[in-house]
Amino acid sequence: MLCDSCKERDAVVQVTQVTDPPVRQLNLCEKCAAERGIETQVTMPKQPLADFIQAVQQKQLLAGSESWRCTFCNSTLRDFRNTSRLGCAYCYGAFEVKLRDLLRGVHGTSKHQGKRYHPPAQAAEEGASVATELRNRLRRAVEQEQFEEAAKLRDQLKVME
Amino acid sequence: MTLDLSLLPDGGVNWLDASGDHSGIVLSTRVRLARNLEGFAFPGRARDGERLRILARVREAVESSPHLRRNLLVRVDELGSDDRLLLHERHLISKELAGLDQQHPVRSGAAVFLGDGIGVMVNEEDHLRLQTLRSGFNLADAFADMQRIDEELGERIPFAFHEEFGFLTSCPTNTGTGLRASALIHLPGLVLTKEINKTLAGLQQIGFTYRGLYGEGSEVVGNFFQISNQTTLGRSEEEIVDKLLQVLSTVIAREEEARRVLLRDAGYIIEDKLWRAYGTLRYARSLTFDEAMNFLSGVRLAVGLKLITGLSVYTLNKLLIFSQAAHLSHAEGRPLSESEANLARARYVRQALAAEVGT
């Protein structure tokens, strides 16, 4: 069926016109429908994070803070902006102020209302074993005079403590 | 490592058996949780050794968990790309874990613990992606299964949790509950009556979204839409699930209404269209994946409208999965070119339909 407006393309949408009586049915192609502000395509889902990051870029919300660094995993806010992914759970502490704004933008709030969680009793012990491993790696790094690595491990330990 | 899915009940596709509510319209219901272990960088940032240690910790926890200990460990990082694609086609692992995305090749330590409708992916975007899958529209059971395994793992390994932000995840779109509940739903009635845009726009306005057959980033084929919550923070898990339940009930009612309208106002046009789809599937000698999906969508609608009888929804569900490229190659026992796959697909569909309704 041809478009009732341009008489050139195939009609893809049927519209009931009620503004100018008598009421009549119009068959329109995609282009003519768009000109009348009628949507014919299924729009793809919104990407809240991408939209928000774009907004952040435009408003320069991260300006001046892009070089902020998480001392546990060594990633920066710039890395986050480029990949949309954080490096580790400690990034939430390192970039807390910016992430709170971002979470509000994405979810409408930053306050978790769901399940509360308490790590298992042996977790303290397990946390200690991660810390012990980091201390051992730190000792080895110092022994081998790998000072850059040692400084990184020291920072990680500081975050964990 | 070779992949032996015969070790799983029904090859891990029990959820195709059309046993749940509204199974003609809702293929499956899924709940997934994102969780991370304390003290380790997220998988995208972690080193190879760290990811292997994470896997070892999770394995220990899974082996002592009553609901998970019988699950089968599959080391995705040790599989060839064909087997990884097969698991993805079967909806058992995500595209990212399968390393099928150019941006994210398969990571060391990538693994999945597969069980009957319960899976635990390790070293995906987050350390843990727990998922429960049920046939048809069955959010309540999928959610109850999820709560059990979350509890059991959370007692055994410390998850990263923040008093204000909740469970911490690699991408802030999952922070808070880490919960994404969804249903894979077939909406040909709304598509044919052109009501679909309005329905989908309405969903987005109230905090829900839709995706294609394989979730995030996938296209809509065969009129299958995966409808899920958009946000994960600021509402409790129960509220998210309840709201989705209401939303899906409304969508199902609208789809049923659209089907009634189609039969009433365009009876013979629809009937002709659907029988043509059936005829093509019964006799075609070559079918592309998209063609097969579209004709299967038509036949599924015809079965729903009771125009075609003697064909089960279970068979149609199986056709959706087993007519995909990696499954056809697997059945033939060799890699297939695209044109060979089209021939194999048409043959497989013809045989499956003939076996069900007779020649």
Distance separating alpha carbons of residues A47 and B313, to the nearest angstrom? 34
Q: Name the residue among B44, B165, B211 with its Cβ closest to that of A112.
A: B165
Residues A79 and B146: their CA atoms lie apart, in Å, by: 33
Nearest residue on chain A to B127, judged by CA atoms?
A88
**C-beta of residue B348 within 8 angstroms of C-beta of residue B340:** no
Contact B308, B278 (CB under 8 A): yes
pLDDT confidence of residue A132: 75
Which pair of tokens denotes residue B322? Answer: 């087993």
CA distance B163 to chain A (A): 8
| Arithmetic mean of pLDDT, B227-255 | 95
Instruction: Note the pLDDT tens digit of each residue in B57-103.
Output: 999 999 999 999 999 999 999 998 889 999 999 889 999 999 987 77
Confidence at residue B359, expressed as pLDDT on a 0 to 100 scale: 63
Residues of A with CB under 8 A from a CB of B: 13-14, 39-43, 45-46, 48-49, 72-73, 75, 83-89, 92, 99-100, 102-103, 106-115, 117, 119-120, 123, 126-127, 130, 160
Say if the Cβ atoms of B159 and A87 lie within 8 Å. no
List the single residue in A41, A102, A113 with the smallest CB-CB distance to B172: A102
- Per-residue pLDDT, A44: 40
User: What is the distance in angstroms between the Cα of B173 and the nearest Cα belonging to chain A?
Assistant: 7
Question: Taking CB atoms and an 8 Å cutoff, what residues of chain B touch A77?
Answer: none
Contacts of A111 in chain B (CB under 8 A): 164, 233-234
* ipTM for the predicted complex: 0.85
- Angstrom CA distances, A161 to A127, A132, A141, A155, stand at 10, 12, 20, 10
DSSP string spanning B3-61? --GGGSGGGG-GGGS--SBTTTTEEEEEEEEEE-BTTSB-TTTS-HHHHHHHHHHHHHH
Mean pLDDT of all residues in chain B?
91
Query: Between B61 and A36, where is the model more confident?
Result: B61
Contact present, B123 and B55 (Cβ < 8 Å) = yes
Nearest CA distance, B350 vs chain A (angstrom): 32
The predicted pLDDT at position A25 comes to 67
Count of CB atoms within 10 A of residue A41's CB?
11
pTM (two decimals):
0.81
In one letter, which amino acid is B272? D
- Asked if B128 and B47 touch (Cβ cutoff 8 Å), the reply is no
CA distance A70 to B328: 47
Tell me how crowded residue B244 is: count the other CB atoms within 10 A of its CB.
Answer: 23
B160–A73 CB contact, under 8 Å: no
- Please name which of B46, B110, B126 lies closest in space to residue B78, comparing C-alpha atoms: B110
Amino acid in position A149? E
How many residues in chain A? 161
pLDDT digits (tens, 9 = 90+) for A69-124: 888 898 998 888 888 899 999 999 999 988 999 899 889 899 999 999 998 876 55
Tokens of B263: 């039969």
What burial class does residue B206 get, using C-beta atoms within 10 Å of its C-beta: 0-12 exposed, 13-18 middle, 19+ buried? exposed
